[in-house]
């Protein structure tokens, strides 16, 4: 009885989990279920514009306090969420089964993360950021100050609410529409780990900014100054998991009305939750010029055609991807041929080239990496053979003298055995054959 009860619970759990697995798939890469961890549930209200824009785009937000005892990202080995928003900068340790390792595992399994810190950022939040290649200013009391490009605020005059419009130049991350108004930022700065090539600065501070404690006098130079300060950064991992890290939680709030914040965070959230810049490649084809079928192998110097179809996810459907920098390599240890593919505006990319005169096992390789887009890595193995013995050219003009000579000698020498014998046989005795005659004569002389 107990066993059947247990079985029933398990089945129920599986049934409830199953639709979640369907939510995030290769065919529809946008995230659906998002866990939002907050320090204080009032963030739901103070950041409602951001959350409402997510909800209106079809996301299912699950708000939880970061120290909730029942927190879990996965159950029975299945992740319950496709994305995680950490709006809990001051949390010392998460509740439930969540910890730094669990968050990183979540990202490592291809899920997305928005992490927002502020001047109260705890070591836990800083550690997660460090694992993503982002180092917040080590001085816990420092904030980003800018005495030149600051926002004039009615309430405060300490120049910690800074205005920045130094965005990354990427339509895929920040949308095609230019962000006209500067973004207002109050929080802590960070620097990027130079060894990490996956992390990108999306919003940088102005050259006059610095990161320091506004209430104490500076005795030594601040560790972060100028445009080296990153305010908002993104990471796209090799498994296409996307991360946004911001040093300001207020950036996402409703508070700054006449700023570019709303557009900035909305566009950024579209990117991080895979509503944009997610590519897929289908119908990889190659064949000999003028043929349709894909051969099992090519011969050196064959002319071949290669084509692939690339589509970009628009949040609701796959749209043809149009770019002029998709390249294919014909690769064996190193690329022998590297071609830029031409496209037909409908997502079909193609090129044609001659197989090199080197035989071996080659690969067609497409290694497409573009700022902000998911990377495409396609490879297809194909052997290349040399000419067969009967595939060389049969008559060489330059060899005609040799042909002629051998024909001529054939009739002068070989017929001595065959042809001449017939002449010998068929001619009358009296006019015996010249060479035989001589031959016999020579013999008789001997």
Partner 1 sequence: MARDLWSLVLIFLFFSACAATTFRPISDGHRSAASELFVPIDGSYGSLEDTYEALRTVQILKIDRNIDINPHTCPVVSEILEDSSSQTKDVYYALGVNSILGCHIDSGIYEAVISRLQSVIKGAKSLYDFYYSIKGLLVIKDQGISVVLEDAGDAFHSIKALSQSGGRWRFSSNDAESSTYAAGLALEALAGVVSLADSDIDQSMIGIVKNDIRKLFDSIESYDDGALYFDEKFDAEHQSPLSTSASVVRGLTAFAAVTSGRLKIPGDEILGLANFFLSIGIPGTTKDFYNQIESLVCLEDNRLAVPLILSLPTAVLSSTSNDQLKVKVTTVLGSDSPPLTVKLVQASRLDSKSSPVLAHQELKFDPESSFHSLDILPTSMDVGKYLFVFEISLHDPEHKHVCATGGQIQAFIYYTGLIKIESAEIAVLDSDVDAVETKQNLDLSKDNVVSLSADHLQKIILSFQLTTPLGHAFKPHQVFLKLRHETKVEHIFVLKNSGKLFEIKLDLLALVEKFYYLSGKYDIELAVGDISMENSFLKSLGHIDLQLPEPSEKASHPPVPLLDPYSQFGPKPEISHIFRAPEKRPPQELSYAFLAAALLPFLGFLIGLMRLGVNLKNFPSAALPATFSILFHAGIAGVLILYLLFWLKLDLFTTLKFLSFLGIFLVFAGHRTLSQHASASAKQKSA
Q: Which two tokens stand for residue 87?
A: 């709006």
Strand partners, 329: 338, 365
HSE-up of residue 36 (Cα within 13 Å, Cβ side)? 19
Q: Cβ 353 to partner 1, closest distance in Å?
A: 8
Task: Find out whether 72 and 105 touch, Cβ atoms under 8 Å.
Answer: no
Q: Cβ 46 to partner 1, closest distance in Å?
A: 6
Whichever of 16 and 48 has its CB closer to partner 1, that residue is 48
Whichever of 145 and 308 has its CB closer to partner 1, that residue is 145
Q: Cβ 178 to partner 1, closest distance in Å?
A: 17
* Residue of 320, 294, 269 lying closest to 382 (CA atoms): 294
What is the rounded distance in angstroms from the CA atom of residue 188 to the CA atom of residue 133? Answer: 16
Task: Find out whether 367 and 279 touch, Cβ atoms under 8 Å.
Answer: no
Q: Cβ 146 to partner 1, closest distance in Å?
A: 8
What is the rounded distance in angstroms from the CA atom of residue 270 to the CA atom of residue 266? Answer: 6
Whichever of 25 and 48 has its CB closer to partner 1, that residue is 48
Strand partners, 299: 385
Q: Nearest 10 degrees: CA dihedral of 23, 24, 29, 31?
A: 80
Q: Cβ 106 to partner 1, closest distance in Å?
A: 25
Q: Cβ 259 to partner 1, closest distance in Å?
A: 14
Q: What angle do CA 357, 360, 364 make, to 5 degrees?
A: 85
Q: How many CB atoms lie within 10 A of CB 245?
A: 27
φ, ψ of residue 134 to 5 degrees: the values are -125, 125
Whichever of 58 and 214 has its CB closer to partner 1, that residue is 214
Q: Hunting for tokens 């398990």 — which residue is that?
A: 10
Estimate to the nearest angstrom the gap between the alpha carbon of 410 and the chain centroid. Answer: 68
Whichever of 109 and 369 has its CB closer to partner 1, that residue is 369
What is the rounded distance in angstroms from the CA atom of residue 427 to the CA atom of residue 419? Answer: 12
DSSP helix/strand/coil, 249: coil
Q: Cβ 360 to partner 1, closest distance in Å?
A: 13
Q: Which two tokens stand for residue 173?
A: 């991350």
Task: Find out whether 285 and 306 touch, Cβ atoms under 8 Å.
Answer: yes
Whichever of 194 and 333 has its CB closer to partner 1, that residue is 194
* Residue of 144, 108, 354, 379 lying closest to 246 (CA atoms): 144
Q: Cβ 21 to partner 1, closest distance in Å?
A: 29
Q: Cβ 60 to partner 1, closest distance in Å?
A: 17
Q: Cβ 186 to partner 1, closest distance in Å?
A: 14
Whichever of 78 and 138 has its CB closer to partner 1, that residue is 138
Q: Which two tokens stand for residue 28?
A: 């529809």
Whichever of 101 and 396 has its CB closer to partner 1, that residue is 396
Whichever of 180 and 429 has its CB closer to partner 1, that residue is 429
Whichever of 82 and 118 has its CB closer to partner 1, that residue is 118
Q: Cβ 336 to partner 1, closest distance in Å?
A: 5
What is the rounded distance in angstroms from the CA atom of residue 142 to the CA atom of residue 155? Answer: 20
Whichever of 58 and 157 has its CB closer to partner 1, that residue is 157
Q: Is residue 282 exposed (0-12), middle (13-18) or buried (19+ Cβ within 10 Å)?
A: exposed
What is the rounded distance in angstroms from the CA atom of residue 211 to the CA atom of residue 228? Answer: 10
CA distances from 6 to 1, 3, 92, 361 (A): 9, 5, 36, 54
């Amino acid at each position: 009885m107990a066993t059947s009860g247990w079985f029933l619970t398990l089945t129920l759990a599986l049934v409830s989990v199953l639709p979640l697995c369907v939510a995030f798939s290769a065919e529809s890469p946008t995230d659906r279920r998002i866990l939002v961890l907050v320090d204080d549930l009032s963030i739901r209200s103070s950041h409602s514009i951001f959350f409402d824009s997510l909800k209106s785009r079809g996301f299912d937000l699950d708000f939880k306090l970061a120290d909730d005892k029942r927190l879990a990202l996965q159950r029975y080995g299945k992740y319950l969420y496709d994305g995680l928003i950490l709006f809990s900068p001051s949390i010392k340790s998460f509740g439930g089964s969540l910890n730094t390792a669990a968050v990183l595992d979540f990202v490592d399994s291809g899920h997305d993360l928005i992490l927002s810190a502020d001047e109260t950022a705890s070591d836990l939040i800083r550690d997660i950021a460090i694992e993503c290649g982002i180092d917040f200013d080590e001085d816990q009391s420092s904030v980003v100050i800018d005495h030149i490009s600051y926002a004039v605020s009615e309430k405060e005059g300490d120049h910690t609410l800074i205005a920045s419009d130094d965005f990354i130049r990427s339509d895929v991350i920040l949308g095609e529409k230019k962000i006209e108004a500067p973004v207002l930022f109050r929080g802590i700065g960070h620097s990027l780990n130079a060894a990490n090539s996956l992390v990108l600065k999306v919003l940088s501070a102005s050259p006059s900014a610095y990161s320091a404690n506004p209430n104490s006098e500076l005795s030594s130079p601040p560790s972060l100054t100028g445009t080296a300060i990153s305010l908002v950064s993104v990471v796209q991992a090799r498994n296409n998991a996307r991360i946004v890290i911001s040093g300001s939680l207020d950036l996402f709030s409703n508070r700054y009305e006449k700023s570019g914040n709303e557009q900035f965070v909305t566009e950024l959230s579209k990117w991080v939750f895979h509503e944009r810049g997610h590519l897929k490649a289908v119908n990889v084809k190659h064949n000999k010029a003028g043929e349709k079928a894909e051969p099992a192998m090519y011969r050196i110097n064959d002319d071949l055609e290669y084509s692939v179809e690339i589509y970009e996810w628009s949040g609701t459907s796959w749209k043809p991807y149009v770019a002029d920098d998709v390249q294919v390599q014909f690769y064996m240890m190193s690329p022998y041929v590297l071609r830029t593919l031409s496209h037909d505006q409908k997502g079909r990319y193609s090129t044609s080239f001659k197989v090199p005169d080197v035989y071996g096992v080659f690969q067609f390789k497409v290694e497409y990496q573009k700022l902000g887009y998911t990377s495409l890595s396609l490879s297809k193995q194909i052997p290349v053979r040399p000419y067969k013995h009967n595939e060389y050219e049969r008559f060489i003009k330059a060899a005609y003298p040799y042909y002629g000579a051998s024909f001529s000698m054939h009739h002068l020498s070989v017929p001595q055995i065959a042809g001449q014998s017939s002449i010998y046989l068929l001619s009358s005795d009296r006019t015996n054959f010249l060479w035989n005659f001589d031959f016999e004569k020579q013999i008789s002389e001997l």
